[in-house]
């Protein structure tokens, strides 16, 4: 959990970080958030807080500020905005972490100077966020941007969503990890085997990075294949949105860095329409962990009517 104090100009002036644990109750989950925010505010008595924005990596009802079913954190149907408003006496707004992240990057990071930006964030899944004509595009009920569930291979590999052949089933860290534990099992990824055994959930981005540094060639081939599919998703986004830039973010991009972005961009330029991809900028997100809290704050400000 990362909390930040943000000025009206979108500058972060203080941060506090705390690990998230699986909560035994909604109350425990909320008191964890409240404690972190109190600590942050208590340090800055000169700061008048107008609103709180919370970004959450799971299904939400943004309008009503409710976190829906999120099994891996152990909560379900929590009206987090209303509950925190009682504690803090200022308005609380909930948003999706990918939307917050792309808005943060657009306003202060890799997207500065662009007007139409597609954000793609490969990790456990593949998140997507859209800035169109300078605004976050949310769609009819706030469900827009699910680029990870664009089907790019009918009857392809299984996706967590229940379908087959989604971009996420081919270009997430999850997809990559399943290949890498197979390589670990057959003796072609000793570094992966050392840190994760054959448990795909243990294959973190930094383990993948280490295996590549140790020049495990089949691991590198799998990463290239993963980036190749990501590039097809990026090409599709380029053809559909005709953006000024595509921003890649998330743990995989941060850890694997330039090579991964370069491989994905190469595939994009092979698969997209010439005019659409030839000069299209592909950038790595530049704000790191700050993008999401910054974007959450900006969304809160906008909804409060104080946004710029």
Binding site for a second copy (CB under 8 A): 115-116, 128, 132-133, 137-147, 149-154, 161, 163, 229, 232, 235-236, 239-244, 271-273, 275-276
What is the closest distance, in whole angstroms, from the C-beta atom of residue 152 to a second copy in the complex? 6
Nearest to a second copy of 142, 251 (CB atom) = 142
Nearest to a second copy of 85, 244 (CB atom) = 244
Whether the CB-CB separation of 56 and 136 falls below 8 Å is answered with: no
What is the closest distance, in whole angstroms, from the C-beta atom of residue 229 to a second copy in the complex? 8
d(CA 293, CA 303): 15
d(CA 259, CA 304): 41
Nearest to a second copy of 65, 243 (CB atom) = 243
Whether the CB-CB separation of 61 and 68 falls below 8 Å is answered with: yes
What is the closest distance, in whole angstroms, from the C-beta atom of residue 307 to a second copy in the complex? 16
The tally of CA atoms less than 13 A away on the side-chain side of residue 106 is 30
To the nearest 10°, report the CA torsion of 117, 122, 127, 128.
Answer: 20
d(CA 233, CA 67): 28
What is the closest distance, in whole angstroms, from the C-beta atom of residue 77 to a second copy in the complex? 16
Annotate 249-285 with b (16+ C-beta within 10 A) or e (fewer).
bbbbbbbbeeebbebbbebbbebbeeebbeebebbbb
Nearest to a second copy of 5, 126 (CB atom) = 126
Nearest to a second copy of 89, 274 (CB atom) = 274
What is the closest distance, in whole angstroms, from the C-beta atom of residue 135 to a second copy in the complex? 8
What is the closest distance, in whole angstroms, from the C-beta atom of residue 241 to a second copy in the complex? 6
Q: Which helix (H) or strand (E) holds 136?
A: strand 135-136
d(CA 305, CA 299): 10
What is the closest distance, in whole angstroms, from the C-beta atom of residue 236 to a second copy in the complex? 4
d(CA 68, CA 79): 9
Among candidate residues 293, 301, 220, 304, the one with its CA nearest the CA of residue 57: 293
Nearest to a second copy of 8, 68 (CB atom) = 68
Tokens of 130: 């859209």
Nearest to a second copy of 29, 229 (CB atom) = 229
Pairing of strands 12-17, 2-6: antiparallel
Nearest to a second copy of 220, 281 (CB atom) = 281
Tokens of 113: 């100077």
Whether the CB-CB separation of 117 and 244 falls below 8 Å is answered with: yes
Nearest to a second copy of 10, 157 (CB atom) = 157
What is the closest distance, in whole angstroms, from the C-beta atom of residue 247 to a second copy in the complex? 14
């Amino acid at each position: 959990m990362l909390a930040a104090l943000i000025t009206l100009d979108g500058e972060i002036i203080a941060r506090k970080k705390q690990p998230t644990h699986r909560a035994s109750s909604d109350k425990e989950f909320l008191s964890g958030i409240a404690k972190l925010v109190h600590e942050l505010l208590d340090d800055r008595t000169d700061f008048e807080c107008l609103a709180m924005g919370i970004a959450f990596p799971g299904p939400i009802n943004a309008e009503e500020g409710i976190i829906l079913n999120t099994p891996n954190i152990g909560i379900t149907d929590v009206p987090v905005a209303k509950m925190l408003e009682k504690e803090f006496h200022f308005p609380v707004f909930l948003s999706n972490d990918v939307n917050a992240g792309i808005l943060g990057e657009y306003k202060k990071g890799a997207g500065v100077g662009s007007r139409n930006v597609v954000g793609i964030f490969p990790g456990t899944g593949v998140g997507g966020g859209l800035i169109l004509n300078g605004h976050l595009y949310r769609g009819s009920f706030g469900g827009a941007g699910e680029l990870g569930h664009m089907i790019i291979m009918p009857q392809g590999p299984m996706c967590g969503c229940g379908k087959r052949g989604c971009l996420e089933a081919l270009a997430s860290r999850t997809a990559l990890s399943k290949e890498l534990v197979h390589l670990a099992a057959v003796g072609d990824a000793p570094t992966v085997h050392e840190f994760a055994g054959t448990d795909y959930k243990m294959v973190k981005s930094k383990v993948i990075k280490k295996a590549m540094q140790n020049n495990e060639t089949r691991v590198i081939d799998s990463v290239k294949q993963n980036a190749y599919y990501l590039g097809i998703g990026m090409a599709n986004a380029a053809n559909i949105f005709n953006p000024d830039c595509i921003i890649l973010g998330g743990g995989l991009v941060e850890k694997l860095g330039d090579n991964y972005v370069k491989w994905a961009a190469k595939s994009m330029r092979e698969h997209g329409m010439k005019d659409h991809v030839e000069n299209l900028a592909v950038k790595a997100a530049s704000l790191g962990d700050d993008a999401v809290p910054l974007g959450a704050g900006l969304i809160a400000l906008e909804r409060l009517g104080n946004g710029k």
